[in-house]
Amino acid sequence: MKKQSRQLRLQVVFFSAIAALTALFLLVLIISFYGYFSDILVQQELTSLDNQAAAFKEQTDAEIENLDAVSININYSSSLHHLLGDNTLNLRTVSLSDFADLCTTINGVDQKVDQINLYDFRKNVLRVGVYTTRTTYVPGDNEIADNILETGGTKVISNPYTASYLMKHSVSPEKYISLYRTYTDSHGNQVGIVETAARCKSIFRSIITYQNRNKDRLTVRVYANDGTCIYPYAEEPQESFSYYEALSSQGDQPYFNNPNTGGREVMTSVHSSYTGWTYVLALPESEILTPVYQMLRQLIFLGLGLLILGLFLSYWLSHMLIRPIQQFQEEIGNTTLSTLDRPTPELAGYQYKELYELNQDFSSMRQKLKISTDELVETRKQEIKSRSTALQSQINPHFYYNSLASVIALAENDQPEEVIRMCRNLTKIMRYITNTNDTVTVKEEIDYINQYLDCMKVRYQSSLNYIINIEPSVLKEQIPRLLIQPLVENAIKYGIDSEPPWGIAIHGYTKDDGWRIEVMDSGRGFSEESLKMIGERIKTAECMLGLPEMQINGMGTLNVYLRWHLYAGDTMIFELKNTEAGHAIVTIGRTIMTSTTGNEGEEDTHVL
User: Could you report the per-residue pLDDT of 523-561, keeping only the tens digit for each?
Assistant: 888 888 888 888 888 888 777 654 454 443 445 788 888
Contacts of 607 (CB under 8 A, 6+ apart): 574, 575, 576, 577
Per-residue confidence (pLDDT) for residue 390, from 0 to 100? 58
Q: Which residues pair with 133 in a beta bridge?
A: 127
What number is the average pLDDT over the span 98-127?
89
Per-residue confidence (pLDDT) for residue 3, from 0 to 100? 46
- 472 cis-preceded (ω within 30 degrees of 0): no
Per-residue confidence (pLDDT) for residue 355, from 0 to 100? 67
Q: Which amino acid is at 59?
A: Q
Per-residue confidence (pLDDT) for residue 604, from 0 to 100? 44
4 pLDDT band, cuts 50/70/90, is very low
Per-residue confidence (pLDDT) for residue 398, from 0 to 100? 55
Per-residue confidence (pLDDT) for residue 198, from 0 to 100? 93
Q: Give dist(CA 260, CA 282) in Å, integer.
A: 13
3-state secondary structure of 559: helix
Residue 182 clears pLDDT 50, i.e. is over it: yes
Give 533-537's long-range contacts (Cβ < 8 A, gap of 24+).
Answer: 534/558, 534/576, 534/608, 535/608
Residue 437 clears pLDDT 90, i.e. is over it: no
90, burial (CB in 10 Å: exposed 0-12, middle 13-18, buried 19+): middle
- Please give the residue that has the higher pLDDT: either 386 or 118: 118
Per-residue confidence (pLDDT) for residue 598, from 0 to 100? 38
What number is the average pLDDT over the span 349-368?
70
For 536, which DSSP code?
H
Rg (CA), the chain: 64
Question: What does the chain come to in residues?
Answer: 608
Per-residue confidence (pLDDT) for residue 557, from 0 to 100? 83
Is residue 232 within 8 A of residue 224, CB to CB? The reply is no
255-271 per-position pLDDT tens digit: 777 777 778 888 889 99
DSSP 427-471: HHHHHHHT-S-SEEEHHHHHHHHHHHHHHHHHHHGGGEEEEEEE-
595 pLDDT band, cuts 50/70/90, is very low
Q: Which residues pair with 503 in a beta bridge?
A: 465
What number is the average pLDDT over the span 562-576?
89
Per-residue buried b or exposed e for 364-375, using 16+ beta carbons within 10 Å of the residue's own CB: eebeeeeeeeee
374-607: CATH architecture: 2-Layer Sandwich (3.30)
- Please give the residue that has the higher pLDDT: either 50 or 363: 50
Residue 123 clears pLDDT 80, i.e. is over it: yes
Per-residue confidence (pLDDT) for residue 271, from 0 to 100? 92
Per-residue confidence (pLDDT) for residue 278, from 0 to 100? 93
Q: What is the mean pLDDT of the chain?
A: 79
Residue 480 has phi, psi (to 5 degrees) of -65, 150
Residue 601 clears pLDDT 80, i.e. is over it: no
Per-residue confidence (pLDDT) for residue 165, from 0 to 100? 75
Per-residue confidence (pLDDT) for residue 194, from 0 to 100? 92
Per-residue confidence (pLDDT) for residue 572, from 0 to 100? 93
Residue 245 clears pLDDT 60, i.e. is over it: yes
Per-residue confidence (pLDDT) for residue 240, from 0 to 100? 65
Alpha helices in 197-273 (DSSP H): 200-203, 205-213, 243-250
Neighbours of 522 (CB within 10 A): 22
Q: What percent of the chain has pLDDT over 90?
A: 21
Is residue 194 within 8 A of residue 69, CB to CB? The reply is no
Residue 320 has phi, psi (to 5 degrees) of -65, -30
Per-residue confidence (pLDDT) for residue 352, from 0 to 100? 65
594 pLDDT band, cuts 50/70/90, is very low
Residue 384 clears pLDDT 60, i.e. is over it: no
Q: Which CATH number fits domain 44-288: 1.10.3720.10, 3.90.480.20, 3.40.50.880, 3.30.450.20?
A: 3.30.450.20
Q: Give dist(CA 444, CA 470) in Å, integer.
A: 12
- Please give the residue that has the higher pLDDT: either 98 or 410: 98
Tell me which of 128-142, 149-163, 244-258, 490-504 is least confident. 244-258
Contacts of 217 (CB under 8 A, 6+ apart): 283, 284, 287
What number is the average pLDDT over the span 378-402?
59
Closest-CA residue to 459 (of 423, 505, 428, 498)? 423
Per-residue confidence (pLDDT) for residue 599, from 0 to 100? 38
Residue 5 clears pLDDT 50, i.e. is over it: no
Q: CA distances (Å), 82 to each of 78, 102, 134, 232, 478, in order?
A: 6, 11, 19, 42, 159
Per-residue confidence (pLDDT) for residue 472, from 0 to 100? 94
Closest-CA residue to 44 (of 292, 379, 386)? 292
For 276, which DSSP code?
-
Residue 237 clears pLDDT 70, i.e. is over it: no
Domain spans of the chain?
44-288, 374-607
For 114, which DSSP code?
S
The pTM score is 0.52
Closest-CA residue to 507 (of 454, 466, 478, 477)? 466
Neighbours of 416 (CB within 10 A): 10
- Please give the residue that has the higher pLDDT: either 14 or 483: 483
DSSP 253-268: --EEE-TTT--EEEEE
Return the top range by mean pLDDT from 168-172, 263-267, 470-474: 470-474
Contacts of 240 (CB under 8 A, 6+ apart): 259, 260
Residue 334 has phi, psi (to 5 degrees) of -90, 0
508 pLDDT band, cuts 50/70/90, is very high
Q: Give dist(CA 19, CA 350) in Å, integer.
A: 26
Q: How large is the angle between the packed helices 416-433 and 442-460, nearest 10 degrees? A: 160
Q: Give dist(CA 525, CA 89) in Å, integer.
A: 159
Closest-CA residue to 270 (of 235, 221, 231)? 221
| Sign of the Cα pseudo-torsion (442, 448, 452, 455, in order) | positive
